[in-house]
């Protein structure tokens, strides 16, 4: 693939940074040799890592940053204090047009707060939302918001629906994404007032995606829709609930394997099939949540990921920039959101 663009990296974010970051972009570099990387971090640590990778080094420029946002920093603290941090300066590079997007495995709250203040939301978008992909029986689904907001009104949910559909379309190649609103039942009368109002808006409007209607929690992994829309509180709980259920299942599987000699033998024979099964649920394959709705692509990698997981977050950021996801959200605002969200035209101007 010949993709030519520039990506900024918070090289100091994450448990195993900067080694994991350099290892990750090295993997991404082999897939996208024309992509340039702006590395923000401790020069004395980055230079030796790049010296060992001359091909990657030619695609990188290093920008020394003295500070680091830690996992303990509160978002408000990070905003005030960390103006010379690797995270902040990587985001600034996106604002200044030097890069199309940024990837960080650092403090989520700080990244969210800084990105919102520095990059601002796109015209027509009142709140950015955090989205990721999840495995389903049918393939994958996009879910948002995963916790960028703790409370959402019906218009926020409608904006999330649009941004999620654009993400599924541009990044995952779903021509006509099916969007569902997460609820406690599928009938129109079910749910709280906000979900019911969002359902009414989407049913009455003519959105640039298929509005499937309400879905329930078990529809997430069933793959009923391409995009699962919900408020940040419910979405955060649902995402972590899936992660917890997957962990319980794999731990019980491992325990079953240790159960007896016979079990160990059987699982050894079935190993290729089990390895394929495990790969299907490899959390590294789903690493990288994107903040949708900002002037620029902002991808959050899991802090505890390794270079393979980080590479996946980098590749998804490259795809979103190359497919011009933000342009598409802006165009959809003009054609759809401005009609259904009151005052959004005024808010956007």
Where along the sequence are the contacts to a second copy (CB under 8 A)? Answer: 135-137, 147, 150-151, 182, 184, 191-193, 216-222, 230, 232-234, 236-249, 251-253, 256-257, 259-260, 262-263, 265-274, 276-277, 280-281
Cα–Cα dist 137/221, whole Å: 6
Q: Which residues, including other chains, have CB under 8 Å from residue 322's CB and lie 6 or more apart?
A: 3, 5
Give least dist CB 69 to a second copy, A. Answer: 17
User: Which DSSP state fits 285?
Assistant: G
| Inter-residue contact 86 to 121 (CB < 8 Å) | no
Give least dist CB 267 to a second copy, A. Answer: 5
DSSP string for 83-107: TTBHHHHHHHHHHTTS-SEEEE-S-
Give least dist CB 239 to a second copy, A. Answer: 7
Give least dist CB 140 to a second copy, A. Answer: 12
Q: Which residues, including other chains, have CB under 8 Å from residue 137's CB and lie 6 or more apart?
A: 221, 222, 223
Give least dist CB 155 to a second copy, A. Answer: 18
Residue 233: CB atoms within 10 Å: 14
Nearer to a second copy, 60 or 146 (CB): 146
- How far lies 83's CA from each of 86, 102, 292, in Å? 9, 16, 23
Nearer to a second copy, 61 or 241 (CB): 241
Give least dist CB 73 to a second copy, A. Answer: 13
Give least dist CB 134 to a second copy, A. Answer: 10
Nearer to a second copy, 83 or 278 (CB): 278
Nearer to a second copy, 268 or 347 (CB): 268
Nearer to a second copy, 208 or 217 (CB): 217
Nearer to a second copy, 42 or 231 (CB): 231
Cα–Cα dist 205/209, whole Å: 11
Q: Which residues, including other chains, have CB under 8 Å from residue 7's CB and lie 6 or more apart?
A: 35, 36, 37, 38, 99, 100, 101, 102, 103, 314, 317, 318, 321
Cα–Cα dist 238/185, whole Å: 16
Give least dist CB 341 to a second copy, A. Answer: 22
Give least dist CB 143 to a second copy, A. Answer: 10
Burial of 56 (0-12, 13-18, 19+ CB in 10 A): buried
Burial of 58 (0-12, 13-18, 19+ CB in 10 A): exposed
- Give me the half-sphere count of Cα atoms (radius 13 Å) on the Cβ side of residue 271: 4
Nearer to a second copy, 66 or 139 (CB): 139
| Inter-residue contact 47 to 60 (CB < 8 Å) | no
Instruction: Show the tokens assigned to 105.
Output: 């495995």
Nearer to a second copy, 230 or 326 (CB): 230
């Amino acid at each position: 693939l010949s993709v030519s663009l520039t990506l900024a990296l918070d090289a100091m974010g994450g448990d195993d940074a900067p080694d994991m970051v350099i290892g990750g972009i090295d993997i991404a570099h082999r897939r996208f040799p024309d992509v340039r990387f702006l590395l923000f971090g401790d020069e004395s640590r980055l230079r030796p890592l790049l010296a060992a990778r001359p091909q990657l080094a030619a695609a990188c420029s290093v920008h020394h940053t003295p500070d680091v946002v830690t996992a303990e920093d509160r978002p408000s603290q990070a905003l005030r204090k960390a103006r010379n941090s690797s995270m902040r300066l990587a985001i600034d590079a996106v604002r200044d047009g030097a890069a199309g997007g940024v990837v960080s495995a650092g403090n989520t709250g700080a990244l969210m707060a800084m990105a919102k203040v520095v990059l601002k939301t796109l015209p027509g978008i009142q709140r950015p939302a955090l989205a990721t992909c999840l495995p389903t029986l049918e393939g994958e689904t996009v879910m948002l918001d995963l916790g960028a907001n703790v409370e959402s009104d019906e218009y926020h949910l409608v904006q999330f629906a649009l941004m999620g559909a654009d993400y599924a379309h541009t990044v995952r190649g779903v021509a006509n994404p099916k969007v569902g609103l997460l609820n406690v039942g599928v009938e129109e009368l079910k749910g709280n007032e906000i979900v019911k109002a969002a359902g009414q808006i989407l049913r009455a409007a003519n959105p640039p995606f298929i509005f499937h209607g309400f879905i329930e929690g078990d529809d997430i992994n069933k793959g009923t829709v391409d995009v699962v829309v919900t408020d940040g509180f419910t979405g955060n709980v649902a995402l972590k609930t899936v992660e917890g259920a997957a962990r319980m299942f794999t731990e019980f599987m491992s325990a079953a394997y240790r159960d007896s000699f016979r079990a160990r033998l059987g699982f050894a024979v079935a190993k290729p099939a089990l390895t394929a099964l495990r790969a299907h649920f490899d959390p590294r394959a789903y690493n990288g949540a994107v903040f949708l709705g900002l002037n620029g692509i902002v991808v959050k990698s899991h802090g505890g990921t390794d270079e393979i997981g980080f590479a996946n977050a980098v590749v998804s950021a490259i795809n979103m920039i190359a497919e011009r996801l933000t342009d598409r959200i802006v165009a959809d605002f003009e054609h759809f959101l401005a009609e259904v969200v009151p005052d959004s035209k005024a808010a956007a101007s």
